Structure 1
Amino acid sequence: MKHLTISLLLLALFAGCRKDDDPGNVDNIPGLGGDDWVKGPVDTWIIDSMTTPYNMTVKYKWEQGELDPTKALVPPHEAKIIPVLSTIRRGWIKPFEDEMGALFVKRYTPKYFVLVGSSQYNMDGTITLGTAEGGRTIELYTLNDFRVNWMPGFVPGDSANVKQMFHTIQHEFGHILNQTVSYSPDYKRITVGKYTANWVNYTDNEARRRGFITAYSMSGPDEDFVEIVATMLTEGRSGFDRLVNNVTVAGGDGTQPATARALLRQKEAMVVEYYRNSWGVNFYNLQSRTRAALVALIK
């Protein structure tokens, strides 16, 4: 059971990261035509709060065919929709808007969110909590378990669910940005030769002992880069520092703690450089805004 739990955590966020998939039928995007139900208060809120200001829309009405037909999934409770989207606005959109401007948000953020009530359980015993498709669509799962501190029944342990959701969004948005402007190829040489398709067999702690911030980072340079971005933004500067500084044991491949920490710091520096040179933004300012917004939601 312990091994199963570790496997679930390893794959919780990224088992379904599909950047090249067909974005699907755009004719039925709510708020942009093709709607086949009477709009209610939730739909009005989405149009007023997401579609009009940010050019984003949300699909929450159940349409199993839009998702994996081989999975047993359930729709989100309607009462969760506005709290979830309000949280996304406060914890993800607003920090980027404040640091990088409204035009940046409208131009580069994903335009279509698909919300699912349950997790997606996979045949290998893992769970998918979020996926991205074509740099345009993000699917978010497990919405029926979602709570933030203004919702009834919130307890401190619920914060893990909120952090997982934001990590998923930051990860996928990181892909969108570096597909628009590539990061330096020098990044791929920091831990060259250490990437592996067997990343599922490692814990996050073991990955850090080898110079990777999470186990999923070991799957390839692109995932490595956006995992550093997502972790830095979600954990904040002190949280990221803590993860790096807690590497005090050699990795299973013989990587010494000082070397592993140095590798992680190299990757951090290249992320900061990328955001400065490619987007004209101070990443540490963005990190501070994002972490503060997240803490306000889960404290």
Structure 2
Amino acid sequence: MKLIKAFFFLTVVAVLGACSSKKDDLSGVQNIPGLGGDTWVPGSLDAWLYDTITVPYNIEVKYKWDQFEFDVTKTLVPPKEEVVIPAMRAIKKVWIDNYINEAGSSFFKKYSPKFFILSGSASWNNNGTITLGTAEGGRKVVMYLLNEFRTKQMDGYRLGDTANVKQIFHVIEHEFGHILHQTIMYPVEFKKICAGYYTGNWNNISDQTAHWDGFVTPYAMSSENEDFVEMIATMLIEGKGGFDKLVNSVPAGTSEDGVTQAQAMDRLRQKEAMVVSYFKSAYNIDFYSLQKNTRKSIDGLFY
């Protein structure tokens, strides 16, 4: 995501003889958020974020609204303050704690992004898709749709919100996957598994069609890098049982692209094996253990 900085220039034209000793009354002028003056007294929420996220992990969480942290062409809304702590507590439990348990605190502090920017709504794109998260240079992650976050511990919990919560974790695992592969690249052989099947038209492809071509999600079809991190995110969030169910759901017959059921299932299993091998060889992480505990943490939010 590229930030657009706006610079405002004020040209003052002085005309001889046109000066006036009268001064404008600016007492009623309001400060513009993000341009200075928008300070606040830190409260219990700020203290919790500082003590729970910033101090132990060196991650700053920004929830106060600042339009210039986002694409200024998009219409967004701030996160509701009451969802910030439940969301960040769940993120800590599902993402931070499990990576630290598997790889250690030094690993996590080295590779984790240093800024979380929160938006209450999704970011809609011109093609009808929505952006649920972005990462910038491995340092900043922008999270959208926080206002839809619900778990069993929160008032107004609804079972249908499970998908929204899982999507937030999916975005985090996806963006962290980018950080990992941009640090140590995955094997080039991964790109060959579905060579020729990547497309910029992914947003018009159904989940079933994507599976039938050997991809875990339609977005995975957008590029090799997105394919790799979508594998990581899907495998972690769905767990081993959920991923196996996805593989076994590939329809019988042949897809429109000429891929048979057996070929599609084999593609998915090849990718699974490469992800598991990559985590072990690149970062000495037991991926199946990470997967098991991540899924267990997610289940604990709902059951």
Q: Which TM-score band applies after superposition, normalised by the shorter structure?
A: 0.7 to 0.9
Retained in 2: the 8 A contact 1:23–1:136?
A: no
Work out the CA distance in 2 between the residues paired with 1:208 and 1:236. Answer: 17
Q: Within 5 Å, which residues of 2 pair with 1:1-299?
A: 18=1, 21=2, 36-249=39-252, 250-299=254-303
Retained in 2: the 8 A contact 1:23–1:137?
A: no
User: For residues 79-122 of structure 1, what are the alpha-carbon distances to aligned partners after superposition, in whole Å with 9 as ceiling and x for unaligned?
Assistant: 11111110100111111111111111111111100111112222
Unaligned runs of 5+ in 1: 1-17, 25-33
Kindly state the Cα deviation for residue 248 of structure 1 after the two structures are TM-superposed.
Answer: 2.2
Kindly state the Cα deviation for residue 128 of structure 1 after the two structures are TM-superposed.
Answer: 1.9
In structure 2, the residue matched to 1:6 is none
Retained in 2: the 8 A contact 1:195–1:220?
A: yes
User: What count of residue pairs does the alignment treat as equivalent?
Assistant: 271
Retained in 2: the 8 A contact 1:22–1:134?
A: no
2:142 counterpart SS class = strand
Retained in 2: the 8 A contact 1:93–1:105?
A: yes
Q: CA RMSD in A?
A: 1.7
Retained in 1: the 8 A contact 2:135–2:175?
A: yes
Kindly state the Cα deviation for residue 134 of structure 1 after the two structures are TM-superposed.
Answer: 1.6
Work out the CA distance in 2 between the residues paired with 1:173 and 1:155. Answer: 28
Identify which of structures 1 and 2 has the higher relative contact order when contacts are C-alpha pairs closer than 8 Å and 6+ apart: 1
- Amino acid of the structure 2 residue aligned with 1:147: R
Judged with a 3 Å threshold, the aligned counterparts in structure 2 of structure 1 residues 109 and 22 are, in CA distance, closer, same or farther, namely: farther
Work out the CA distance in 2 between the residues paired with 1:49 and 1:70. Answer: 33
1:298 counterpart SS class = coil
- Amino acid of the structure 2 residue aligned with 1:216: Y
Work out the CA distance in 2 between the residues paired with 1:217 and 1:136. Answer: 23
Retained in 1: the 8 A contact 2:129–2:203?
A: no
With normalisation by structure 2, the TM-score equals 0.86
In structure 1, the residue matched to 2:12 is none
Judged with a 3 Å threshold, the aligned counterparts in structure 2 of structure 1 residues 23 and 107 are, in CA distance, closer, same or farther, namely: farther
Work out the CA distance in 2 between the residues paired with 1:121 and 1:181. Answer: 32
Kindly state the Cα deviation for residue 245 of structure 1 after the two structures are TM-superposed.
Answer: 0.7
Work out the CA distance in 2 between the residues paired with 1:102 and 1:65. Answer: 32
- Amino acid of the structure 2 residue aligned with 1:48: D
Work out the CA distance in 2 between the residues paired with 1:188 and 1:121. Answer: 29
Work out the CA distance in 1 between the residues paired with 2:3 and 2:204. Answer: 30
User: For residues 145-176 of structure 1, what are the alpha-carbon distances to aligned partners after superposition, in whole Å with 9 as ceiling and x for unaligned?
Assistant: 21111001112111111100000000000000
The ranges of structure 1 where at least 4 consecutive aligned residues each deviate by more than 6 angstroms after the TM superposition are none
Work out the CA distance in 2 between the residues paired with 1:72 and 1:247. Answer: 38
Kindly state the Cα deviation for residue 37 of structure 1 after the two structures are TM-superposed.
Answer: 2.8
